[in-house]
Amino acid sequence: MAGYYQQPAKSGKATGALVCGIFAILLAWAPLFGIILGIVAIVLAVKAVKEAGKDGKATGGKVCGIIGIVLSVLSFILYLVIGFGAMAYVAAHPGSVTVTENTPSLSDSGSNSSALGATEDEKQAEAVAQAELDKLKNQDPAFVQQLAAQLDAEFADSAGYSLAELGVDPVAFVQWLLADFDYQLDGTYTNSDGTGTTYADVTMRDVYAFASTFMTDATAFSRSTEAGSMDEAAMKAKLGELFNAAMEKTTDTTESYIGVDLVKQGDAWVIDEESWADETELLFGNL
């Protein structure tokens, strides 16, 4: 019939993508669910576009899915930092250690440089740990580069996009993380088996505050008409812009508690590299 107009078919996948994307954001506090829903939202959005053409719901679902994945990754990093602080605190206050104001009492397994006055052995161990912590405080270039490369790779594995693909410089993100990094030593324990641990209170940038800022801005963007008209490349660029803006806006700090394990090789104390790698993985959520 002349003049007859057939409206393009609508794909239910577009609605599904939008719903999954929204829930990916809402459940970002539960990283596993947030990442899964975010991936489902992106997949459904792509299929919806292939079946029925470009659709505002499909585009919104993809945007929300990406945001949900990014927030879930950030939540995962935050939980690792919190969990690490809790475990380190428990490790620093074992039931076998009893400290009183005048007569500290320790088990035979070690000695505490802060409680008893450091021996020469303890001073050497503490100096080695302090030098390692100074790499973070002073943003040692080699350490920053290593952390940035591994963070970028980990982010890509979790979110499907690397920080670089979003237009975020991984090195700049690490420098932001370490911008206010500081620490206060809280004692060194050395043991007769040639092992020891130095504990420290740590101050660093608050990832939770950063995630909250990014979430607020990204959610507002996902609801805008601008988001509905963007292709994937433009969306990634916009999310990267919001990510960078969130770093600039966030200067809050948080405190944690860490332990640096050491081993004695001959007459010298050295960092237990495997243990330190595990500790920094828990602290930064990426190594």
Q: Name the residue range of residue 211's domain.
A: 12-98+108-284
| 91 occurs within a structural domain | yes
Q: Which two tokens stand for residue 269?
A: 């104390």
Across 117-129, average pLDDT: 84
Position 187 in a domain: yes
Residue 4 within any structural domain of the chain: no
Residue 87 in any domain: the answer is yes
What is the average pLDDT across 240-265?
A: 89
Spatial separation of the C-alpha atoms in residues 120 and 78, rounded to whole Å: 37
Q: In what order do the strands lie in the sheet with 268-271?
A: 111-112, 182-190, 195-205, 253-265, 268-271
Give the chain's radius of gyration (CA, Å): 24
- Asked if residue 26 has pLDDT above 90, the reply is no
Asked if residue 112 lies in contact with residue 187, where contact means CB atoms within 8 angstroms, the answer is yes
Contact 56, 103 (CB under 8 A): no
Residue type, 138: N
Please count the structural domains in the chain: 1
User: Which of 30-34, 86-90, 99-103, 255-259 is modeled with the greatest confidence?
Assistant: 255-259
Per the domain annotation, does 103 fall within a domain?
no
State the residue for tokens 């580069």: 145
Q: Is residue 139 part of a domain?
A: yes
Q: Evaluate whether residue 2 is within a structural domain.
A: no
